[in-house]
Structure 1
Amino acid sequence: MILIDGETVRARLDMRACIDLLRPAMIALARGQTRQLLRGIVDLDAGRAFGVMPGALGVGEAFGAKLISVYPENFHQGKQSHQGVVALFDPADGAPVALVHAGEITAIRTAAASALATDALARRDAARLAVLGYGEQAERHVVAMACVRDIAGVRVWGRSPERTADFAARVGAHTGLAVSAAANVRDAVDGADIVCTTTAAAEPILLGDWIAPGTHLNLVGSSRAGPVEVDHDVVVRARFFADHREGVLRQGAEFLRAKEAGLVGDDHVLGDIGAVLAGDLAGRTSDADVTAYKSLGSIVQDLACAWHLVERARSEGFGVRVPF
């Protein structure tokens, strides 16, 4: 077996490469060419969770599962909130072939998938970015958005003004973008063309009244039924797309709350973003549309990234080999 650690994932999988890897994977998911089960989630104490995500890229292609723990408090201790492994099996003989650092793959593929959605749904002239949150996904989303749009400025908001200011200075220096801290959520999204929500909020922090026509939103922070980042009005106003429609219909918290309130039905989730990428489904229909991409995360994203790394490890010789 090949073991690939987080440092190696960071060194061998950059954002632009990840975006390119995910495009065919998300199209295949939308067209029903991949195989996956709805993820299983075990609630632990103190808001922690353990998840299992099994799947296969397609007939005769790599398959496996991600085993992941989510410890939100890790961020404040300098650790990743998502810890775990992607276990890969060889489609030729079914043998386990690799364990890959899941926290690092999750960090990059989540933002890369949002970049694909933004490229498909945001206006071509979208240049003003708002990011809610200052954790790992917030930083990755700044990098990812700059891969698909010419970002002229970034405003960021977080609950701690000091941490928000630190984030703005650090990410601005790292990316070369003009990143500024906003005093509140409304100021952060005022005039924004693209909004990324990457918080751990349990109740809405972003209201639909604050969103201008033509805005695209990536709803990322809530990855399960329960906690929500945006109010009903955001959901109702938006042309609403999913990374995987089946998952969002069952675990997409913002959609489910709006549905429970009787404001939308299942048909409000228009389809998978992969269908828009493939040209099989209309995305934005006018410059005035508000569009939203709901991200829960799909195992095919993890498998595509991990298998790419395994193939490179075999040819380039990196990773640790262990007998099995």
Structure 2
Amino acid sequence: MLRAKPAASVARPLILSSYDEVWSLLDWDQLLSRLRTVMAQFSASRKQPPQIAHGIQKTEMVHIAQPIRSWIEIPQHSGSYGVMPCFVADGDLLSTKVVSSYAKNPTQYSLPSHNAWVMLFDGKTGVLKAMLEGASITAKRTAAASALATETLSNKTYETLAILGSGVQARSHLEVHQRTFGFKKINLWNYQRSTADKLKEELQSGRDQALYPEVEVFENVQDAVKDADVICTVTMSTSPVLLSEWVTKKDVHINGKSTQPRHQFSYDWVTKKDVHINAVGAPRPTWQELSADLMNRGSIYVDTEVAARHESGDLIMSGAEIYAELGEVFNKTKEARWKQLTIFKNLGMAIEDAVSADIIFQKYHEKN
């Protein structure tokens, strides 16, 4: 039987299945810089009006294409399966992430509850360039987006960081926040105290222990967030774990001396600064991590408004208003209201996976 041959041979795609290898290739500094750029591009492209000629919308150029992620449910196995495609014209990045979530995996099969692969294609030809282990990418790019929000929306006081949750996202959020801001104290809370205790032990005995000078585990959320400047909620909770009455302005002690030659004086006062929250969990329309009254107190920022209105239970069930996409702050079309309570609802975007995959692909070939 004769078979048609392709016009040209296609290079074998890069396949990296190791979580640790993919993690090590995804550099934090590059990731933070690239995410800031692509999120600004995304928000700008979404606001651009379509070009119309003779009553027909022209589609000669797409800057960013990113539909809402598609999910199918597999209830008999307590599972779900999602697909996240996108195209980014800057770099001609074409990417799809496939992700599965099976709640019973850890207890029934000793397997992770979340598994993922990211496929990177050449946007000019559609040829597959790489297949990359996706859980590590998800962990890093999600935490990096939160760190960008902390940098942009917080009151710039980096004394105490509270982490609610002790899983993969807790670890990645801790690492990037400590590398970027160097909080003096870390407060941990988890439903199972033993898991938080284990995380504390890992932090203070690992090779990066210098990043975590003071870590304390709390029995309840209220005490964990009491003195926090920044709070990251990274749980699998389906009902609120963080209530409005627990999130209060913090007294900040300021003292020093004037350096003006003709007006030398000392100053010493206490001011109140509000809190910034990165809300990462509750990615389903009926799930919540933050109480409705807390959501309605803050200025709400999101990664993508369309997906947030469709997917975020914190927003849907509270009826809270979205103030801006984070990318709109980056491109200066909206302001950062850092003087008041700010909440970044971080659902994650396919363009973040595409940029991450591109960094990994380039870094791999630089080393090999």
Q: Same fold (TM over 0.5)?
A: yes
Q: 1:89 aligns with which of 121, 128, 139?
A: 121
Structure with higher Rg: it is: 2
Answer whether contact 2:304 2:325 (CA < 8 A) is retained: yes
> SS state of the match for residue 115, structure 2?
strand
Q: SS of the counterpart of 1:308?
A: helix
1:196 to 206, 219, 232: 232
Structure 1 spans left out of the alignment, 5+ residues: 318-324
The whole-number CA distance in structure 2 between the counterparts of 1:257 and 1:169 is 37
Instruction: Please tell me whether the aligned partners of residues 301 and 323 of structure 2 are also in contact (alpha carbons under 8 angstroms).
Output: yes
Distance (whole Å) between structure 1 residues aligned to residue 66 and residue 186 of structure 2: 36
Partner of 2:82: 51
1:316 positional shift: 3.1
Partner of 2:331: 278
Matches within 5 A, 1:63-142: 63-74=94-105, 79-142=111-174
Question: What is the rounded CA distance, in whole Å, between the counterparts of 1:86 and 1:172 in structure 2?
Answer: 32
- Choose which of 210, 214, 222 in structure 2 pairs with 1:186: 222
* Displacement of 1:275: 1.4
Q: What TM-score do the two structures reach when normalised by structure 2?
A: 0.79
Deviation, structure 1 residue 280: 2.3
Contact 2:44–2:331, Cα closer than 8 Å, also in 1: no
Q: What's the counterpart of residue 269 of structure 1?
A: 322
Partners of 1:299 and 1:241 lie apart in 2 by 18
Given residue 242 of structure 2, which amino acid in structure 1 is its aligned partner?
L
The answer on 1:207 being equivalent to 2:243 is yes
Q: In structure 2, what is the equivalent of residue 143 of structure 1?
A: 175
Equivalent pairs: percent with the same residue? 26
RMSD over aligned Cα atoms: 1.8
Q: Distance in 1 between matches of 2:90 and 2:363?
A: 21
Query: Contact 2:87–2:123 (CA<8 Å) still a contact in 1?
Result: no
Gaps of 5+ in 2: 1-12, 46-62, 250-273
| Contact 1:84–1:103 (CA under 8 A) maintained in structure 2 | yes
Aligned residues: 308
**Can you list the C-alpha shifts for 1:99-150, whole angstroms capped at 9, x where unaligned?**
1111110011111110011111111123211000111111111112123323
Q: Which residue of 1 aligns with 2:307?
A: 247
8 Å contact kept, 1:86–1:99: yes
Q: Secondary structure at the match of 1:218?
A: strand
CA distance in 1, matches of 2:30, 2:284: 27
| Distance across 2 between alignment mates of 1:192 and 1:315 | 41
Give distance in 2, aligned partners of 1:241 and 1:52. Answer: 24
Give per-residue Cα distances to partners, 1:43-73, cap 9 Å, x unaligned: 2225421110011112661112101111344
Deviation (angstroms), 1:160? 1.2
SS in 2 for 1:31: helix
